[in-house]
Amino acid sequence: MQNLTVGSPTRLILTFATPILLGAVFQQIYGFIDAAVVGQFLGVDGLAAIGAPAALIFLLTGLSWGGSAGLAIPVARAYGAGDMAGVRRFAAAGAYASVGIAAVITVVGVLFSRDILVMMNTPAEILDQSVTFVIVLLGGSAATVLLNFLVATVRALGDSRTPLYFLLGSSVLNAVLVVVLVGLVGMDVSGAAAATILAHLVTALLMLLVIRRRMPSLHLRRADWIAGRSSMREPLRTGIPMGLQLSAVAVGQIVLQVAVNGLGATTVAAFTAALRVDNFVVVPLMSFGVATVTYVAQNRGAHEWHRIRVGVLRTMLISSGAAVVVGLALMMAARPVVTWFVGGYEVEVLAMARTYFLVNGGLYALLAATFVLRNAVQGMGVSLAPTISGVTETIARAFAALVLVAPLGFVGVALAAPIGWLGALVPVVVSWFVQRRRLLRLEREALAALATVPGVAVPEVADALALALEGPVREPALV
């Protein structure tokens, strides 16, 4: 466990974000292997079949990813305040909510996947394979929801290393299973889905065992489960908006996927390969966002207002620098990377994927800023602005799909993501500046209260108050 309320914000965020980054990288690696094995053994149609329902899968699993992160915010705040009873109570409440999330994903995914994929204009030649992939993957979603919940809860306590080890093991197991089931046993796309579910289930069970043995803060007693039922409001207040936020983004992706599906299986395959690579390179940016929400929530619980401002600012600078680096790397290495999925002979697929990377590579800074600021305001307990951010991103992506794809073809597809990022960024920028003014006010009040305490020496109180008002130029105590 790690207390993020004491020590250098820069060092803490970097050390906390690094295991998150590594864990996400390994998860994306198995996504790479998954797509590469399917593409090499089952051909372009197989690759397209697991790519066509990607937006639908994101729509449903986004409830788990975002919801788990949101459910963990009260846990992080309670831990930052030193309230261990609150940690257990909110963890129990999050577990109850996770059961509901798993039920929704499973029912919708199993019962309505074919109807939704038909509505998404999925090419007829890959429809049956896509339906099979979705039913197997989402039919076992309880394992995925459990793993996401455990990872988010442990991270809320400042421990990002333990989830790293388990995500690494899950990624390796998933990669081995997909090679065995699809490459050796000869299963169709259902083998790729089954490999993911089996890997998540084994990992979640092992993680429960380690929590039971080594993490007393999460040892829930009967009283905690009872208290959790009456403490659902706060976790749901943060969890539901974050889950719906990602689902709202997925709606825009579904509209875009419909437009892509209408361009044929070859375009779907190119889009699938491009997204796999794109998801991999944005991992560093996403990791800083995940670190930000825990850092802000813990410091909010400890009333460390100045540390929140400093930490968010420095995370923005670091994340923006990472965005420039990964963008340039992607633009230079796009073509050889895509050949891992389809081979060098699929000239049309390679050309379209390269176009996607050239358009997106230079604009990742928009995404980096969105991740950091969205998570910062969520850590402050604000749910409306991130939800609006998801809605505006959806509208922006839908605009690109409906207006740009027809006249511009795959260039319109490539433009959809950065247009969506810009739409998502505006609401959270406004919200963060509102929160920043609030933080400055709270800093001034804290300093003023300290100055009135008998026997407490506060050097140059007037200068300190002015510093809090204007924002620090130099912060040697926090470096």
Q: How far apart are CA 434 and CA 3, in angstroms?
A: 27
CB 245 within 8 A of CB 382: no
**Mean pLDDT in residue range 31-56:** 76
- Rounded mean pLDDT of the chain? 82
Q: Is pLDDT above 50 for 477?
A: no
Of 69-83, 167-181, 341-355, which gets the smallest average pLDDT? 341-355
Q: How far is CA 86 from the centre of its chain?
A: 25
Q: Give the pLDDT confidence score for residue 211 in this predicted structure.
A: 93
Q: Which two tokens stand for residue 23?
A: 């864990």
**Mean pLDDT in residue range 414-426:** 89
Q: What is the largest CA-CA distance in the chain?
A: 79
pLDDT top residue among 231 and 52: 231
pTM attached to this predicted model: 0.73
Residues 243-281: pLDDT tens digits?
777 666 667 777 787 788 777 777 877 787 777 777 777
Going by C-alpha positions, the residue among 291, 144, 298, 152 that lies closest to residue 211 is: 152
Distance separating the N- and C-terminal Cα atoms of the chain: 22
pLDDT top residue among 316 and 333: 316
Of 180-194, 267-281, 306-320, which gets the smallest average pLDDT? 267-281
Query: How many other CB atoms sit within 10 Å of the CB of residue 446?
Result: 15
**Mean pLDDT in residue range 14-30:** 78
Indicate the pLDDT class of residue 232, thresholds 50, 70 and 90: confident
Q: How far apart are CA 377 and CA 431, in angstroms?
A: 7
Going by C-alpha positions, the residue among 288, 293, 304 that lies closest to residue 8 is: 304
Going by C-alpha positions, the residue among 249, 263, 240 that lies closest to residue 393 is: 249
For 334-382, the DSSP string reads HHHHHHHHH-TT-HHHHHHHHHHHHHHHTTHHHHHHHHHHHHHHHHTT-
Of 41-50, 81-90, 297-306, 385-394, which gets the smallest average pLDDT? 41-50
Q: How far is CA 174 from the centre of its chain?
A: 19
State the amino acid at position 199 in one-letter form: A
Which one of 316-320, 401-405, 408-412 scores highest in mean pLDDT?
Answer: 316-320
State the amino acid at position 326 in one-letter form: V
Write the DSSP symbol of residue 383. Answer: -
Indicate the pLDDT class of residue 476, thresholds 50, 70 and 90: very low
Write the DSSP symbol of residue 402. Answer: I
Q: How far apart are CA 183 and CA 335, in angstroms?
A: 25
Of 26-35, 141-150, 168-177, which gets the smallest average pLDDT? 26-35
Q: Is pLDDT above 80 for 448?
A: no
Residues 460-475: pLDDT tens digits?
444 444 444 444 433 3
CB 419 within 8 A of CB 403: no
Q: Give the pLDDT confidence score for residue 106 in this predicted structure.
A: 93
**Mean pLDDT in residue range 426-444:** 91
Indicate the pLDDT class of residue 201, thresholds 50, 70 and 90: very high
Q: Is pLDDT above 70 for 458?
A: no
Q: Using a pLDDT cut of 70, give the percent of the chain over it.
A: 88
